[in-house]
Amino acid sequence: MNKITVFDSTLRDGAQARGISFSVEDKIKIAVALDKLGVDYIEAGNPGSNPKDLAFFQHFSQGATLSHAKLIAFGSTRRKGILPEDDKNLQALLSANTDSVCIFGKSWDFHVTEILNATLEENLKMITDTVAFLKSHGKEVIFDAEHFFDGYKNNPAYAMQCLRAAKEADCIVLCDTNGGSFPADIYDTVNLVAQEFPSVGIHTHNDCEMAVANSIVAVEAGAEHVQGTFTGFGERCGNANLSALIPNLQLKLGYDCIPSEYMPLLTETARYISETANVSLNSRAAYVGRSAFAHKAGMHIDGVTKASASFEHIDPEAVGNQRQYLISEVAGGSAMLAKIQKIAPDITKGSPEMAEIIQGIKDREHKGYQYEAAEASLALFVRKQLGKFTPSFKLLNVRVIGERPFDEGRSSSARIGIEVDGKRVFTYAEGTGPVDALNKALRDALDAFYPQLNEVYLTDYKVRVLDNKHATGSKVRVLIESTDGKQSWTTVGASGDIIDASYQALVDSIEFKLKC
């Protein structure tokens, strides 16, 4: 198998995405997770640009270590008109104390003259001087040729001169910085460059939804080094998505990207990074999304239960994901049977329990519940129907009060009483709304009995009005998504009272964590 070097830039390129702001602690956690997955390089930021990145590098230079990955400090070529040793950014790169650095330089003549306001010759000298300076300090140097594909289209001779100016670098990376290139152009250009330079890499952006495809054809054209982010985080439309690129290259095309024994950690890593970034992972994300191996149509479910390859391109467990059968009006009996057999393997299609469960689901869906998106509530319902469920606590009473004038952070309060194994607890909590107050009061009451619930927090809360002809008296359905940082699950409640519907979903979320 041909080795492909994986260069992760989540902590630098990913941090440039809208809505993402990593703390130093976040960056350290993500670096450890990426190292555990087996990526080769972790580009962690520019120590010359902000104190946060500098603090990150200090953490690892003062004793903390990674087992596999090399940390990369990122910066630019020297500024025009000064020597490398006088450039503060280059000095900051050295202060990061990493064995490897990545620098970017302009390779599009338009950028050189109009953005840098430099001459074409001066830009070449900036590239050569910077690479030589860093190599003289014993650094492994990766050179990112910024805007290379646009530069090559506009002035191919000069774009190639820029690469030759960086020829002493350990790897030359061709960047589709604007994300506007198509696979055919990428392939032809990378193939040409790879004939001249011994180590070529690819760095693509996703502005045309081509980043992963462009990275793959670059590898097929001779690139041995790929750059990207989990899960495609990045400026504008993002970067090449490593959670799709790695399995595409390794599982589909036979390249060696990460140690094969770590591939089942892919889904866990993608979800962990998304949670740490406080971004909901796209449920339809290839390989790692919750819907990546979810089947709804009856014919599809029947096919998968007989032979998974009939409707799945890989085994979900290969990337640490799970197969799901969605229960709905278009799902057949095979879907329900597969779910029931996870709890009670002896149940068959002809079992009386099977008919009772299906009828029970139909009755509850008529009342407003929906289990297609609430697998956790469905699992609990099946257990209850089979007599395999004992509640973890008993509700004694609950009272939720909304207050005016609304005070941000304390607009509602909740009082709740529960009983666990004969012991009664009564708690009071304030929240930004009635559901928040109810959730806090319930968690406080259960904390002494079930400390593992401290790992669980809500990531999404949705309310759907079911019969809006009754206006404010309409029945509502509440969906709550929860996570413990390792897995996510969704629960449902339905009622004419939004507090009651929310309470149902909250309780199911807690019970799923404790029982399943």
Residue 192 carries which DSSP code?
Answer: H
In a domain, 399, yes or no: no
Structural domains in the chain (count): 4
Looking at residue 328, its pLDDT comes to 54
Nearest in space to 153 (alpha carbons), one of 97, 192, 116, 127: 192
Torsion sign (Cα): 502, 513, 461, 382 = negative
Q: What is the CA radius of gyration of the chain?
A: 27
∠ CA(168), CA(174), CA(178), 5° rounding? Answer: 140
CA 474 to chain centre: 36
How is residue 425 written in tokens? 């607890």
Q: Are 154 and 164 in contact (CB under 8 A)?
A: no
Q: Please say which residue of 243, 276, 309 terminates a domain.
A: 276
Asked if pLDDT for residue 272 goes beyond 70, the answer is yes
How far is it, in rounded angstroms, from Cα 446 to Cα 247?
Answer: 41
DSSP 3-state assignment of 471? helix
Q: Sorting pLDDT into bands at 50, 70 and 90, what band is 367? A: confident
Instruction: Select from 152, 288, 224, 174 the least CA-distant residue to 3.
Output: 224
Residue 238 and residue 340 share a domain: no
| Mean pLDDT for all residues in the chain | 90
Q: Which domain holds residue 147?
A: 5-276
Contact by Cβ (8 Å): 204, 226: no
**9: CB partners within 8 A, 6+ apart:** 43, 227, 228, 229, 234, 239
The CATH number of the domain where 473 resides is what? 3.30.160.340
- Which of 110-114, 332-336, 504-508 comes out lowest in average pLDDT? 332-336
Same domain, 97 and 130: yes
Asked whether 207 and 179 are in contact (CB, 8 A), the reply is yes
- Cβ–Cβ < 8 Å for 429, 414: yes
Please give the Cα distance from 45 to 94 (Å, whole number): 13
pLDDT, tens digit, for every residue of 190-214? 999 999 999 999 999 999 999 999 9
Same-domain check for residues 145 and 66: yes
Instruction: Label residue 330 by pLDDT band (50, 70, 90).
Output: very low
Residue 10: CB atoms within 10 Å: 31
d(CA 233, CA 274): 9
Same domain, 76 and 197: yes
Are residues 350 and 387 part of one domain? no
- Tell me if 398 is assigned to some domain: no
CA 160, 161, 162, 165 dihedral sign is positive
What average pLDDT does this structure show over 370-375? 79
**Chain centroid to CA 138:** 35
Same domain, 445 and 467: no
Residue 326 pLDDT > 80 = no
Question: CB of 120 within 8 A of CB of 109?
Answer: yes
283 within domain boundaries: no
CATH of the domain at 143: 3.20.20.70
How many other CB atoms are there within 10 angstroms of residue 149's CB atom?
Answer: 27
pLDDT at 278: 80
Residues 6+ positions from 120 with CB-CB distance below 8 Å: 109, 112, 113, 158
What is the DSSP track for 226-251?
Answer: EEEBTTS--STT-B-BHHHHHHIIII
Task: Check whether residue 190 and residue 305 sit in a common domain.
Answer: no
Looking at the structure, tell me whether residues 361 and 375 fall in a common domain: no
Say if residue 292's pLDDT is above 70. Answer: yes
pTM of the model: 0.73
Domain shared by 116 and 200, yes or no: yes
Contact 489, 425 (CB under 8 A): no
Q: pLDDT class for 329, splitting at 50, 70, 90?
A: very low
> Is the pLDDT assigned to residue 406 strictly greater than 60?
no
